[in-house]
Structure formats: structure tokens, C-alpha cells
Amino acid sequence: MERDVAWKTYDEAAHAAVEALAADYVDFISDNKTERECVAASVARAEAAGYRPLAQAVAEGRALKPGDKVWATAQGKALILLQVGRRPLAEGLNILGAHVDSPRLDLKQNPLYEAQGFALLDTHYYGGIKNYQWTALPLALHGVVAKTDGTVVDVVIGEDPTDPVFCVTDLLPHLGRAQMEKKGSAVVEGEDLDILVGNRPLVDDAPEGDEAHAKDAKDPVKAYALRLLADKYGIAEEDFLSAELEVVPAGRARDLGFDRSMIIGYGQDDRVCAFTSLVAQLALADEVPERTAVTVLVDKEEIGSVGATGMASQFFENTVAEVMELAGEGGMLPLRRALGASSMLSSDVSAGLDPAYASVFEAKNSAFLGRGLVFNKYTGSRGKSGSNDARAEYMARVRRVMDDAGVSFQTAELGKVDAGGGGTIAYIPAKYGMDVIDSGVPVLSMHAPWEVTSKADVYEARRGYEAFLRA
């Protein structure tokens, strides 16, 4: 059952809509490369569309009625958008769930040091990466520094064309014979992913014999880097202890291919699904959906959905409980009924079949770029380990929604049975008894610093997610 290419179905107006959405998407992922940035940008869009803070409604004891739109965040790294529907919440919600964290390098708490005349920042990689892919490319620094006086400093260095960038150095091939004989996983060790940030020493004007002079004279390149950080951001070395600074590829996402049919950019796993879910939620505008429409954007999926901002936290359940209380349906039993009766698309990317690595794919059960939104009935690895396996009846319902809306879609597995595998957040909300299925956009070079998607699939995902929220 080969699915047709979505591009063949588009008229001139659809082509224009594809390009407009792609341009918006490129801006979104270029401007928002951390979970904090994605959540802040999403809240701004939601508020412009009429969403109001749930915390404010709770504080005022304001009742929620059909059509009301609220948002809630967890520590600025996870977000829930909810638009109350006509039906009682206890009859279930229509939920889109994506994640906004992506593989990257995180600065350690004591990162800055000097070695052989260079200043470097020590890192700890986050998520599943191939270490060697992060060498010899321009990198940017994004994040926050929390100071003991209560101020929080936003940091973005490497994105403006006038900014400097950073890099992880690589070994020249002339001296790399022993390195090239290593396994791919050991070509570059995790502890070697240190960021080169300086080579210029501080010309110290402190008097000789002064304690500060002695310290600067010992590590003059590090000292100069600290001087620059102090001048621009008011940051001292101690402030790294309470910082969250992420190292990501520098530069904007771009059109890919002579035909501009694809997008290459950082963090498309899973921001392509987060963005299309957000846009679909906001597309409901001021109408009152039949069932309450919810979009959940969470953190920490790449490391197991853990912590206060991951899907395994109580953030989602607590937020739904607050909404039901304000809607006059409070109580533990109505909450359990609502969660159990809900339907969810776990909006996460799938592996697109890459002709360069076709041997690890099984073609008739693989996702292809350009053929639309992908549904993975199950993920997991080998014997479906760690998978949410959606029931057949739910898959049929989702098919009907997509067919009725004219959405191009396909089904897939994540590679050959014994080739590997992967997981999503789907198994976590499934614990409530709700129907959940994985759906998303196929990606090439997943988890690499630069990933590839098709504009057609981005467009079909947005259409499919909107159709699901309206169903």
C-alpha cells in the first residue's frame, strides 16, 4: 500500500500555503533553540490569540466556560494550552503532545578553564548524539544565568551575524590514524566535547604582587574571557554554578534542495511537531470545539521524560484538575474519567527512509519524506520494548479523521525489527487508559546537529493536527 506523494495533490493556493507555513516554521526554529525559548515564544503567540494564564483564573476563582482559552507553564520549560469545548470535560479531551527539548551540549557547573593558551568550556552532552558530529562546526550559546541577587540574565551568543561563534575542535587527518581505527562511538569521547572560546590573554593592569594579578597571570586567557563576560553580562565565574547554558548549532534553518522542497535546521526533533501542534491549536481561533482541545509541549523527552518539566511529572494531570475545578467538574473521579476518555496524538518525529542507509529500513513499513503525516502504531525496540501499542479501533478512528479532512498520511515503523528503535512520550499518558498513537513528521539525519524535513510533511502535520482537535 504505497502512499502517494503529497506534493501531487496541491494546487497553486496550497503551494502558497505550504511556503507560508514553512517560512513561519523556519523563523520559529531559528529563533528558539532551547526549551525555554520555545515555551516563551509559544506563550507570546497564545496570548496574542486570546489565551490567558490559568494561574490568574485560579487566583481569581474565575469560572471557565466553553470557548475559554488558558495556558499554564512548568518552570518556563513546559507548556499546556487548553481551549474549553462544548462537551463536559469528563467526556474526554483531544490532546496533542510534543516535546521542545533537543539533543545538545550543556555546560557543566564549573565549565571554564585554560589549557595551553586556550580558554575552553567543559560540557556534558544531552540526549542521544553521535559525538563526532559536533566537531568543527559553528556553535552558539543559549540559556540563562541566575544570580544570587535574584536576577536572571538571558544569554544568546553566536546567532547575530556580528556575534562570535564557538566550536569543538577536531584532529587533523594527518595525525588521526589511530583515531580513525576506533569505533564510531569512541572516535570522540564525551569528555572531549569541550568548547573553544578564547585565545587572547588579559593584559593585566593590576599591580604586581596583588592577589588578582597573580590569579590573572596564571590563566590570562581565561581571565580575559571572564572580563568580557563581566563587561557584557555582569557575570562572574561563580555564576556558572547557577546557570543553564546550552550549546547548539549556530545559524538559521534554511531551505534545502534546488526545488526548495525541504528544510535543514537544528532541533527539528521535535520542534517540527511542537510548532505544527501549536499552530493547529491556535487555528481554532474563537470557535468552541466539540471536545476540549489541548496542546502539551514538554521538556526532557530526550532523556526519559523525567523531572518536573517532563511528561512523567504531575504537571499535565494537575493542570487538567485545575481546569476541571474552574469548569465546575472538580474532583478526583471526574478527573480520572476525563483522562481515561481522552484521545491523544503523541506528536513526535519518525525516521524518514534515507536511500544512503536503506539497509536498516524495511521499505513497505517506512516513512518517506513528502508523503505526509506519519502514524507509528508502536515504537520501541526489538520486541516493541518500551512501546505504546495503539489499539486497532483507535487507529481506524484516526484514519477516518484524516481521510475526512483530506490529509496526506502514511504509517511506519522505526526501522527494521532488530536494527534499533526508539521511544516517545506516548506510553506515559496511556497509563490513564486514554487512546494514544504516535504521529509526526519524517526526518532525515535525526539527532544530528542539522536535521532534514519536507515542507509538504510539515504542512500535512499541521492540517492533520487541526483536524484531530476538531474531531
Which pLDDT belongs to residue 456?
A: 98
394 vs 343: CA distance, rounded Å: 9
Which pLDDT belongs to residue 91?
A: 97
* Average pLDDT over all residues of the chain: 94
45: Cβ contacts below 8 Å, ≥ 6 apart: 278, 282
For residues 445-456, one letter each, b for 16 or more C-beta atoms within 10 angstroms of the residue's C-beta and e for the rest, the string is bbbbbbbbbbbb
Res 4 pLDDT > 70: yes
Res 455 pLDDT > 70: yes
For 266-314, strand residue ranges (E) read: 292-298
Res 206 pLDDT > 90: no
Res 213 pLDDT > 80: no
Res 338 pLDDT > 80: yes
The string of pLDDT tens digits covering residues 67-89 is: 999 999 999 999 999 999 999 99
Res 417 pLDDT > 90: no
117 vs 198: CA distance, rounded Å: 9
Res 292 pLDDT > 70: yes
* Mean pLDDT, residues 101-126: 97
Res 210 pLDDT > 60: no
286 vs 281: CA distance, rounded Å: 11
Res 330 pLDDT > 70: yes
Res 217 pLDDT > 80: no
Identity of the amino acid at 315: F
What pLDDT band is residue 110 in, cutting at 50, 70 and 90? Answer: very high
The string of pLDDT tens digits covering residues 368-408 is: 999 999 999 888 777 787 788 899 999 999 999 999 999 99
Three-point CA angle 24, 29, 31, nearest 5°: 90
Q: How far, rounded to the nearest angstrom, does the alpha carbon of residue 347 sit from its chain's CA centroid?
A: 11
The DSSP code for 426 is T
* Mean pLDDT, residues 324-331: 97
Residue 174 sits at φ, ψ, to 5 deg, of: -60, -30
The C-alpha cell that represents 385 in the structure block = 520494548
Res 209 pLDDT > 60: no
CB 121 within 8 A of CB 197: yes
* SS3 call for 214: helix
Res 211 pLDDT > 70: no
The string of pLDDT tens digits covering residues 238-276 is: 999 999 999 999 999 999 999 999 999 999 999 999 999
